[in-house]
Each structure stands twice: as C-alpha cells, then as structure tokens.
Amino acid sequence: LTSVMGLPLAARFTQFVVTFLVSLHLLWRWIRTGGKALETKDRRLSRKLIYGYKHKHIMLPSGVNMHYVEAGDASAPLMVFVHGFPEFWYTWRHQIEHFKDRFRVVAIDQRGYGESSKPQNIADYSQTLLAKDIDDLIHGLGYSDAVVVGHDWGAFVAWAHAILFPQSVRRLVICNVPHPAAYGRLLKTNEKQRKMSWYVFFYQTPWIPEAMIAADDFELLEKLFWDKATGLRNKDNFTAEDMEAWKYTFSQPDCLRSAINYYRCKFQYPEDEKFERKCKPKTLILWGDGDKFLVKEGATLSAEQWCEDATLHFIPGASHWIQQDEPDVLNKHIDEFV
C-alpha cells in the first residue's frame, strides 16, 4: 500500500479527518465552558491505590525506574502482570488477590505510566525496549523465568517479550490482543479491523489526542469503561471510586503523552520484521468476544499460525476489558493453564 510517513494513505486520511473533527469539538467545548472543559482538576491519591497493597520500585539497566505492586510469598514462583492502555497496575486487582497465595504476584506500571519513569522521546517506547523491561524486571527480581500475563498493549509487550526472550517465559497468557504479526496482517487485509483501529491512526497526531482524553474531566475514560458499546458488561466491577483512581493516574504530568507514545512509536519506528516469528513458549489466549476494538480473527490467527503451542478460549459476551469484566472466568482459565 502507498504510504505517507509510515501510514497507508487511507489511514493517514482517517487521522486527518478525525483530528479535524476532534479539534472542532474541543474548540466548541472550550468556548461553551469558558475554557474549563480543557482544565485538569487537581486530585489526591485515591485510597484504592494505597490500602492493602505493597508498592515497590526497581531500577532497570535501561535507567527506567519501574513501579510495581507486589503480593504473595517472595520465594514463590513469579507471575508478572502487564497492563494496557489506558490502564495501569490496578487493572489487575482481581488477579492480584486471586493468585497471591501461590505466586509472587507483581503488577507493574509500564514505562510511561503511573509512578514509573516517563522517557521523553517517542523512540523510547519501542516494543523491543518494552519487552526488555519485562526481561530485566524478571532477572532483577532474582528469577530466571516467570508466568507473564498481558492485556491490550501489555499483551503486545508480552508477545514481544516471549518472541525475543523465550527463555524467561515459563508460561504466556495473552488477553485480547493478537500476535504482532497477526495484527499487522489484519490491518492490511481486514476492513473491519481497519475501521475499528481509527483511534490508532488518530493517535499519530501530536497533542490533540491527549487533550481529547483529558477534556471534560476525562469524560472519555468514563465512556470507555462504562459505555454500553465499549464498556464492561458487568458494570459493578468498575466503580466510581475505581474511576477516580484512573483519573488520578492519568492526570499526572506526562502520563497521557507517554502512554499515547506507544502508538506513535509503533508507526514512526516500525519493527514489524523483528516479530514475524512464531511464539515458542506455551501460550494461553483468552478473548472476550464482545471486544469493540479487535476482531475475533486476530485470536484465531494468532493461535493457529503464530504460536508453536497455544490454547484459545473465547469468553462469550465479555468486553475488551476481560480481566476486570469477567475476573472469575479469566482466573479459572489461568489456574488450569499454569
């Protein structure tokens, strides 16, 4: 496909159209509210993020100071949870509680998120560097391998880690994201997936995506997790207090910019050829088939063509946010797998 600056022309057109429409909307909200719609409210640290959790940091060889929450016996096998966008370590709260009796559970803030370091350059968010963070974390905690569980962008990173550093993956659990090679193929061949990925192209625009997400006191976060179309099916699993924890996290300086830089780096500094390889570690793919961002074919293609040993389970009706939406079902499948 003919491309401009790494994006196919159709995707670039989508980016420009969405950017124009969003800019008009933000201008209208700014005028209507006298500028208040684009102001960020000051928030205190949510008690949800404090009580009952053990917070730690580790300095990785890359210079990234990674924040993580730990639970369980420090001598038990390691289980690492890697969050996606727009999330952070707390998205794994149901899994932390469930697995802490048998594993040393570590739920991280990836670089750019929460209390972890936020490098300034877009190139600092390549899948290779993100995967190396996981490998460095595992060895930095004194282990040779771990059960690695990833969701959304965290699943992309978990795939990359398993491809580049298979020796440090005891078992791989993937939640609602296809293998990088499968996703690349779908963007080229599947019209439905291209339409569902409009925001990925829009995020290539500087500044405007960050303003859109933060506008009207992060109203977009409420829509993502509570809206009938994209939100959790089991709404009680994501409370108003949980939402405050999300808003506090993403209102911190540079967090939104760093998080969106994951998308910018993927297209501006492509590494597609590096991940055109099968995943060797034993893999479990869990997929909520009510996902409004990714087609089911991505799960099937990943399991059948891009893994040496994969098990796939669809969770009927579950949203993209399956670790929060259907934690009991998800935990049961992981229990059986590990």
Residue numbers annotated as active site: 152, 263, 320
Report in angstroms the alpha-carbon separations of 75 from 72, 102, 232: 9, 10, 35
CA distance 47 to 61: 32
- 307: β partners: 279
| Nearest residue to 141 via CA among 103, 173, 113, 112 | 103
CA dist., res. 257 & res. 131, Å (int): 20
Nearest to 5 by CA among 276, 271, 272, 269: 269
Q: Which residue pairs, CB below 8 angstroms and at least 24 apart, start in 204-207? A: 204/7, 204/15, 204/263, 204/264, 204/267, 204/268, 205/15, 205/19
Q: How far apart are CA 208 and CA 94, in angstroms?
A: 33
Spatial contact of 294 and 176, defined as CB atoms under 8 Å apart: yes
List Cβ neighbours of 257 (8 Å cut-off, separation of 6 or more): 118, 210
Residues 279/162, Cβ–Cβ less than 8 Å? yes
Q: Would you state the structure tokens that stand for residue 244, as one six-digit string?
A: 């405050």
Identify which of 67, 286, 280, 285 has the alpha carbon closest to the alpha carbon of residue 165.
Answer: 280
How far, in Å, CA of 191 to CA of 178, rounded? 16
Between CA 3 and CA 227 the distance in angstroms is 34
